[in-house]
Amino acid sequence: MKTSDFNYHLPPECIAQTPVEPRDHSRLMILRRDQDSIEDAIFHNVGSYLKAGDLLVVNQTRVIPARLFAHKVTGGKVEVLLLKRIEPDVWEALVGGKGLKPGVKITVEDGPETEILEDLGASRRLIRFLSPIENLLPNVGEMPLPPYIHTPLTNPDRYQTVYSKESGSAAAPTAGLHFTPQLMSELEQAGITIAKVTLHVGLDTFMPVSEDNPLEHVIHSEWCEVTPETAALINLTKKNGGRVIAVGTTSVRTLESAAAASTIPNRVNSISGPTKLFILPGYQFRVVDAMITNFHLPQSSLIMLVSAFAGREKVLKTYETAIQRGYRFYSFGDAMLIL
């Protein structure tokens, strides 16, 4: 297995620059793992492919306005992208600017003075805010859109899921962006239960794997949680013969991490803490029966995860079909339901 096995050519015009309005009017490709045919649908009809007794698992993380603009005492401009909170006022961050060594102090525009604590390699730094930043972020921070999106986002809420609750992500769990409150209500009325997990998404999620052999790639750690109540819902669904349908690769990673913590096959334990689970082809899924996901970057850990679930050749063939049929790719793009 090579990283290049997960490469494909995507014309730039296929990368969605703005979200579809309304949310649930994006396109939905239906891929059945036991069939060769591919079906086209609209996302608001996703309930047609689900049934009473199914459990839809969503990631309730919320993106923080993590892009900050700052300057050094000497006047040099600095850009800070918060990645992960380590302690109340200590964060791992990406920083852009010159001479940002440990001990250097910068000041966030309209915000607190900040000290560089540690060089973590490349542009990563450990930084400390000298006064609390969290409550100021909605006023001093900007939404950290992925680098392949060049159109300014007029409504920051469009980069949040409608059920987002727990702040902590540097990027949105984008498969969930297609849901509306009305659609979720309709699914529940049809007997489909919705459960929430949390995984705080880091920017490493989107990075292409740089090693030739993906087995040599050091997977990023992300904090996740499955509460005892959600674990009980998942286990009850499996016991009753229902399907566990993960909304997004982040939910897949969380669910399978919870399954790895259980000694009982096809069951999960409640968990709370970091996960380093790296899902590659050959992985045996324990609890996820189906998934809703967007179309992912070439050679990323996400397309590897989807390939583990549906088969690499089938996924790449499906991506080619999606390009031919005019599907929109990446964060603001269309979705796929893999059954």
Residues 76 and 197 in one domain: no
64 is written with which tokens? 């923080």
149 is written with which tokens? 């999106």
**Closest residue by Cα to residue 310 from 297, 324, 325, 295:** 295
Which of 82, 105, 140 is the last residue in one of the domains?
Answer: 140
Backbone angles phi, psi at 13, to 5 degrees: -70, -10
Residues 329 and 292 in one domain: yes
* 57-to-85, 137, 159 alpha-carbon distances in Å: 25, 29, 19
Residue 269, pLDDT > 80, answer: yes
Residues 181 and 56 in one domain: yes
Q: Is residue 110 part of a domain?
A: yes
The per-residue b/e assignment along 288-313, b for 16 or more CB within 10 angstroms, e otherwise, is bbbbbbbbbbbbbbbbbbbbbbbebe
Q: What band does 219 get if pLDDT is binned at 50, 70 and 90?
A: confident
pTM beyond cutoff 0.85: yes
Domain region containing 59: 3-63+153-338
Residue 206, pLDDT > 70, answer: no
Residues 270 and 327 in one domain: yes
Q: Is residue 146 part of a domain?
A: no
Cβ neighbors of 328 (< 8 A, separation 6 or more) are 14, 15, 16, 20, 26, 27, 295, 334
Residues 57 and 75 in one domain: no
Residues 52 and 80 in one domain: no
Which of 117, 140, 163 is the last residue in one of the domains?
Answer: 140
Instruction: Write the CATH number for 104.
Output: 2.40.10.240
Cβ neighbors of 221 (< 8 A, separation 6 or more) are 274, 275, 276
Q: How many folded domains does the chain comprise?
A: 2
Residues 170 and 215 in one domain: yes
Q: Is residue 147 part of a domain?
A: no
Residues 104 and 240 in one domain: no
Q: What pLDDT is stored for residue 221 in this prediction?
A: 85
Cβ neighbors of 309 (< 8 A, separation 6 or more) are 33, 252, 279, 285, 288, 291, 338
Residues 81 and 230 in one domain: no
Of residues 294 and 85, more confidence is placed in 294
How large is the average pLDDT for residues 261-280? 96
**Torsional sign, CA 312, 316, 220, 289:** negative
Residues 163 and 206 in one domain: yes
Residue 330, pLDDT > 70, answer: yes
pLDDT in tens, 151-178: 999 899 999 999 999 999 989 999 999 9
Residues 313 and 215 in one domain: yes
Instruction: Write the CATH number for 277.
Output: 3.40.1780.10
Q: Is residue 226 part of a domain?
A: yes
Q: Is residue 136 part of a domain?
A: yes
Residues 114 and 44 in one domain: no
Q: Is 108 exposed, middle or buried (0-12, 13-18, 19+ CB in 10 A)?
A: buried
Q: What band does 217 get if pLDDT is binned at 50, 70 and 90?
A: confident
User: Residues 275, 224: contact at Cβ < 8 Å?
Assistant: yes
